Every structure is written in C-alpha cells, then in structure tokens.
Amino acid sequence: MTIAFDAKRAFHNSRGLGNYSRDYVRLAARYAPNNHYLLFNPRRRQDLFDATADCLTEVLPKGLWQLAPGMWRSFGCTDLLSQLNADIYHGLSAELPLNIHKTSVKKVVTIHDAIFLRYPELYSPTYRRMLTRKVRYACEVADVVVAISRQTRRDCIELLGADEKKLRVMYQGCNSAFRLPITQEQKDAVRQKYNLPRTYLLYVGAIEPRKNLSNLLLALSASGLDIPLVVVGAESRYAEQMKRLAADKRLSVIFLHHTDFSDLPAIYSSAYALTYPSLFEGFGIPILEALCTSLPVLTSTGSCFSETAGDAALYADPTDIDDLADKLQTIVSDNSVRQRLIANTALQADKFSDENIGRNIKALYESLC
C-alpha cells in the first residue's frame, strides 16, 4: 500500500515532534518495507532520509505552490493523493490538511498531547484557538486517532471530544543511537568538548516554564547537594531567567545550548541521573533516552510519566520544592535506591523497543486496508 506522511516536522523540527516523526518514518521503512511511503515536505531539505530504505519518496510542492508552502501543506497537497495512488494519509504531528475530508483516502492522525488546553496560560490566545481548531478537526475526520500514551488518550476524549472507538494507543520509541554501547573514550571526548564535570545531574528538554526548571533549581538549592546540573536545551528568554536564578542561589549549573545530537548518548551515559520535573507531557522522550543509556531518572508524579519511566524512576510532586529536594537527595546519596533504579532501566526501555514500535506501525496500516 502507499502511505503519505505529513513530514514537515521530520525535515524541519529538531525537538520532540521532529524526533518522533523521523523515528516513526525510520521504523515504518524498516518493519514494513513493502509499503511505499510518500514524505510530503513543504520545503526542500537536502539528504535527510537518503540513508534509509528505497521505499521512501519525498514529495515537494510544484509550480505556484512553491511560493506558499504552508498553504500547500494545509490544502494543496491533497490534489496529489489520488495522482500518487495514496491509500492512507498520516498526520504525524496532530494535523491533517483542512480539506482532506473531501478525499477517499484513509486518514490517520497522531495526537501527542493537549497541553494547550490543560495549560492555556502558556500559549497566546490566537495560537491556542488556531491549534484547537486544527486538532479537533483532525480528530473528527480521522479514521484512526493515534495517542502516544494512555494519558493522551484520556485527553483526546475529555478535552478534544475524540471518539473512543477511533483511538489507539501507540507508544513511541527513541533514536536507536541511545541503545548503542558508549565507550569510555566517547565519554571522555564529550566531557572535554563541552567542559563537563566528572559527576553531574542532567536536564534535557526545552527550557520553558512548563518544563519546570525553576522548581528544580529551587529544590537543588534546598537539598544542600554539592553536585552540578547540566542543562541541555535551546536558548530562550526563560533560559536567561533560569541563569539568573541559578546565580542567585549560587548553584553550579552548566547550560548547553548548542549540542550535536550525536553527542547526546554520551552526555546521558556520563551523568549521575536525569532530572525531568516537567508539569505535563504527552510521553517524555528524554526519559526513554535516559533509560536506554542505563541512567536512573527523577521525574514527576501524574501525567504520563509512570507510563514511560515505570520502576526505573523516582517520582516527586513537581510543584512541591521539599518533595523534589528530598528525592534529589535520595537519587544522589542512596546507592541502594540508585542501583535498584539502574537495574530496572533495561527492562523498561525494552517495552519501547524498535521491534515493538515497528510491529505496531505495521499492524496499524494493515488494519486499514
């Protein structure tokens, strides 16, 4: 069968949605190579998937559509579905073309979260209204709505009005680079490249209020621990506020705003623990990346976090500084707890193996055609 992907974020997004899309395409090509996959990309980016299977074809706007790539993604690309004999169109990032209900293709959309409805104060009213309209439309017209966690499934029903019969929970994986062995030489090279200390706690993710770095810094200060924190994330206005907070609290915090993706596995495996106190997520890819490198995790209660981390994490109330501080002390100072968590990382990470995710992708499309 022929499956078209909305591949905008696979080509142009370096954060969570981009990582999900790239990994999904990789696994679809590997575990269901008899399908033909069309990667609908509004703007050319050279050689992103050249190293993958021959079953992938990039599709770009032509003619006047090249002058309006956003409109092509939202409307114009649907004219190509019948021309290219597409059986299925899959929106990998919570959107479908706004006229796709007029086509005969089967429609699939992946919903990652409904944070814009749970925490509306974090988004501008204009952006929130636009996103709500797009996501609700996608849920309404899709034949299958893929939720990346049970938490997201509940949000689809409660906040987006999705039909329970359409919903299918399909967990995501992470880049296979995190499952490869890391040598001491690689660790030493990364430490030297980024001037990292021998022992450190790690934070990976967007540096924005929802990720709750402020409470992590306050808890680190309250814990009395003398251990550096390495923060990996893009520059932002909020990041500048966090740098000032760290300085005020006299904390040793190293901000890495420009890291090579290929260095991340060694950065994880050199750390003492991942600290991920986010208020809310759809899945939490950094948690899985940590587990794949045998790194214990401190994360939040509630949301999806126990689905991803299982028994390989300690959990704290992300709004309770004292609870966060107490769990920080435990994961750093209690070696028996730390070793127990490490022992559970492999088993938990295997739940999200390439094979399991690939099998689910293959089954999804076979159920539609």
Which domains does the chain carry? 2-173+353-368 (3.40.50.2000), 177-350 (3.40.50.2000)
Mapped onto helix, strand or coil, the DSSP state of residue 7 is: coil
Tokens of 16: 């969570």
pLDDT of residue 44: 86
CA–CA separation, 284 vs 231, rounded Å? 16
């794949």: which residue's tokens? 292
What is the distance between the alpha carbons of residues 360 and 343, in angstroms, rounded to a whole number? Answer: 27
**Phi and psi, residue 145, nearest 5°:** -110, 115
Beta strand extents in 192-252 (DSSP E only): 201-204, 229-232
For residue 48, the model assigns a pLDDT of 65
> Which regions of the chain are under pLDDT 70?
46-53
Task: Write the single-letter amino acid at 108.
Answer: V
- Given this model, what pLDDT does residue 123 score? 87
Contact by Cβ (8 Å): 122, 209: yes
What was the pLDDT predicted at 50? 54
Residues 254 and 215: their CA atoms lie apart, in Å, by 17
In sequence order, what are the residues at sequence separation of 6 or more whose Cβ sits closer than 8 angstroms to the Cβ of residue 187?
266, 269, 270
- Between CA 247 and CA 208, with CA 223 as vertex, the angle to 5 degrees is 50
> What pLDDT, on the 0 to 100 scale, is given for residue 95?
96
Asked if 170 and 146 count as a contact pair (C-beta separation under 8 A), the reply is yes
Buried b / exposed e over 346-355, threshold 16 CB at 10 Å, is: eebbeebebe
